[in-house]
Amino acid sequence: MKKLGFLAIVLIGFSVQAQGPNLEKDYTAIEGKVIEWRREIHQNPELGNREFKTAEKIAKHLKSLGIEVETGVAHTGVVGILKGDLPGKVVALRADIDALPVTERNDLPYKSNVTSEFMGEKVGVMHACGHDTHTAILMGVAEVMSKNKAKIKGTVKFIFQPAEEGPPPGEEGGALLMVKERVMDSPKVDAIFGLHINSQTPVGVIRYKSGGAMAAAQTFTINVKGKQSHGSQPWSGVDPILISAKIIDGLQTIISRETELTNEAAVITVGKIKSGVRSNIIPESAEMIGTIRTLDYDMKDKLNKRMIEMVSAIAKAYGGEATCEINDATDITYNNPELVEQMLPTMKRVAGDANVQFQKAITGAEDFSYFQREAPGFFFFLGGMTPGSTESYPHHTPDFLIDDSGLLLGVRTLTEMSLDYLNSDQKPLLDIKPKG
């Protein structure tokens, strides 16, 4: 028995060694620091495009590691470039750093008591999506990798991104602005990896989906024009409220009757409807706004086209007029299938086969998608639910909580994925166009 145990240890040791440098000592050394950073950031959250102190902390850390640092990217973003001693490809790692206007209800020694102003209102500020963990994990990866610079074949770009949850109204920001400011160029990124902590996935587990993993989000505005009349005499006017009701009904049939839901999910939601002033007036007009979620580019195009046609045709059928304007908010978080295949063995080695699990598509959106339009990317989910728990609060709520014993797996996974990617002889994937 003893001999078998010894053999197993040797084999495990060998399999880690065979993939590249053995960083076990560095991982052990970094865990405490990552947890400490995470707690400090959690206690001092900052809203999107206002992450001044968070950015300062990140920049200071990267500089202390000898990493080349650029600050003020897309307002408050920080980009670090670590050049390995050997030539090779360029891999980018992204962490988002912004918090949300949510008042924390957790009883923690590092609870946030921060308040700020959001859209003219005083709000509590909380890392209610777990971006504090992403920031701390990537700071940890930067430290481990900079210590092993001599063994790195290629370049690692650390992207600390502001305003993932969306910039304040009237401002630009987030991944889209970073891309506009050419964060994916010089040096040009060959592949990008990112993760999101998840409060409902147990610590130790990684979940992923190849292809469309998170939805494209679009907003739409429908303007219905009718003809105002007395509420008692509808025949002398055109009722925009009735037309709106028919339009809402029609839009849902695009999903239920015209969309091949066995391919991917799709959602149309009317979130607001505004019309009229009092009981006995049929108003002149109505306005509706809403969101569209799609996971497939062809479905997205078809759905958009049909919405515009249907809105106008329905209004016309009832004697009115209507327009539908659609705007992109976030693209499809599209995990390049070839890159996913290439990186899965690494993930399984790090987390264990059984802990790398399939994730259903998510109709929520993520602006990591904008980086994936520039280079093949892989975005996955990391467990943050306390081991043994069966329940936890969802993201964006005042009770949202992440168990920081799960953070080290994030550090290990991103580090090992980067090293394996850079060490592999495989040429960078050129085709980043999502296929159906």
Q: Which residues are annotated as a binding site?
A: 129, 131, 165, 196, 396
Angle between helices 297-317 and 240-258 (to 10 degrees): 150
Structural contact between residues 346 and 353, judged by C-beta atoms closer than 8 angstroms: no
Q: Which class for 296: exposed (0-12), middle (13-18), buried (19 or more C-beta within 10 A)?
A: buried
Question: Which residues neighbour 65 within 8 Å (Cβ) at sequence distance 6 or greater?
Answer: 82, 142, 143, 146
How big is the chain by its Cα radius of gyration, in Å?
Answer: 25
Report the nearest approach of Zn ion to the CB of residue 395 (Å): 5
Classify 261 as helix, strand or coil.
coil
Structural contact between residues 128 and 1, judged by C-beta atoms closer than 8 angstroms: no
**Which CB sits closer to Zn ion, 41 or 238?**
41
**Contacting residues toward Zn ion, per CB under 5 A:** 129
Set 104, 132, 164, 420: catalytic member: 164
**Which CB sits closer to Zn ion, 206 or 238?**
206
Report the nearest approach of Zn ion to the CB of residue 50 (Å): 16
Set 98, 143, 264, 296: catalytic member: 98
Considering only CA atoms, which of 105, 99, 53, 92 is closest in space to residue 76? 53
**Which CB sits closer to Zn ion, 134 or 412?**
134
Residue numbers belonging to the annotated binding site for Mn(2+): 129, 131, 165, 196, 396
Residue with CB nearest Zn ion?
A: 129
Structural contact between residues 217 and 293, judged by C-beta atoms closer than 8 angstroms: yes
Report the nearest approach of Zn ion to the CB of residue 364 (Å): 8
**Which CB sits closer to Zn ion, 129 or 251?**
129
Report the nearest approach of Zn ion to the CB of residue 97 (Å): 11
Question: Which residues neighbour 55 within 8 Å (Cβ) at sequence distance 6 or greater?
Answer: 71, 76, 77, 78, 97, 160, 162
Q: How far is residue 406 from each of residues 20, 71, 95, 128, 204, measured CA to CA in Å?
A: 23, 29, 16, 17, 6
Report the nearest approach of Zn ion to the CB of residue 417 (Å): 20
Q: How far is residue 14 from each of residues 177, 353, 369, measured CA to CA in Å?
A: 44, 18, 37
The CA-based diameter of the chain, rounded to the nearest angstrom, is 94
Report the nearest approach of Zn ion to the CB of residue 366 (Å): 7
Angle between helices 52-64 and 131-147 (to 10 degrees): 10
**Which CB sits closer to Zn ion, 26 or 331?**
331
Please report, to the nearest 10 degrees, the dihedral formed by the alpha carbons of residues 296, 393, 102, 205 taken in order.
-60
Task: Note if 98 is an active site residue.
Answer: yes
Counting every residue written for the chain, the total comes to 436
**Which CB sits closer to Zn ion, 129 or 339?**
129
Active site residues: 98, 164
